[in-house]
Amino acid sequence: MPKYGYARVSTVGQSKHGNSLEHQVNLLLSEGVAQLYIFVDSFTGSKMDRPQFSKLFQVLKAGDTLIVTKLDRFARSTMEGEKIVKSLIERGVRIHILNMGVLDNTPTSILIRTIFFAFAEFERNMIIERTAEGKAIAKQKTGFREGRPPKFTPRQLDNAISMLQNHTMNDVVAITTISESTIKRELKKRRLQNGQV
């Protein structure tokens, strides 16, 4: 019976803690899972839509082995994780979590995985809470602007716009590496601020 593997990251930061897709895939390969049988989901946010896991869930049948590097790669909540694991075990799928061992439906295994899922959910909720607190504190600071920081400083934009007096748009773009659309957007913004249309 084939071995299947599942790898998932949901944030960029996870790659720093031994959870990168590359690291997970390498561990799965070292466990004898063929590249063809490794399913990978990669996204950000907390949405539960995992297209590759959904495909894998449909493919798995009695006698197959599913290998995952860590239990929290399955799910973000205790209820969801327990539901998935229980369903797979009842279908006759062997589940091997590399940092825990093989899961089954014995009371001890159910207790252990429920605790692990609960800790993963708790950790996720703490990260969300700390992030929200950090944003709230940052918003109180003067000059705070939520979102991505500007790519170019006001001085760089001033320079590019002043260069337009003596150079073509293409020349300014080539010299400053500021895109034409960014320069035009800045020109439009300044015209509106000065009451020009």
CB 40 within 8 A of CB 73: no
How far apart, in Å, are the Cα atoms of 74 and each of 57, 97, 151, 154, 161? 11, 10, 37, 46, 52
Rounded to an integer, the average pLDDT of 77-99 is 89
Rounded to an integer, the average pLDDT of 173-193 is 91
Note the pLDDT tens digit of each residue in 17-65. Answer: 567 889 999 999 999 999 999 999 986 545 557 889 999 999 999 999 9
CB 89 within 8 A of CB 81: no
Note the pLDDT tens digit of each residue in 107-135. Answer: 988 898 888 888 888 988 898 899 889 88
Contacts of the segment 124-128: beta carbons below 8 A, 24+ positions apart = 124/46, 124/76, 128/46
Rounded to two decimals, the pTM is 0.61
Domains of the chain: 3-126 (3.40.50.1390), 154-193 (no CATH)
Residues 6+ apart with CB under 8 A from 175: 163, 167
Active-site residue, selected from the candidate residues 10, 46, 87, 162:
10
10 is catalytic: yes
pLDDT at 99 over 90: no
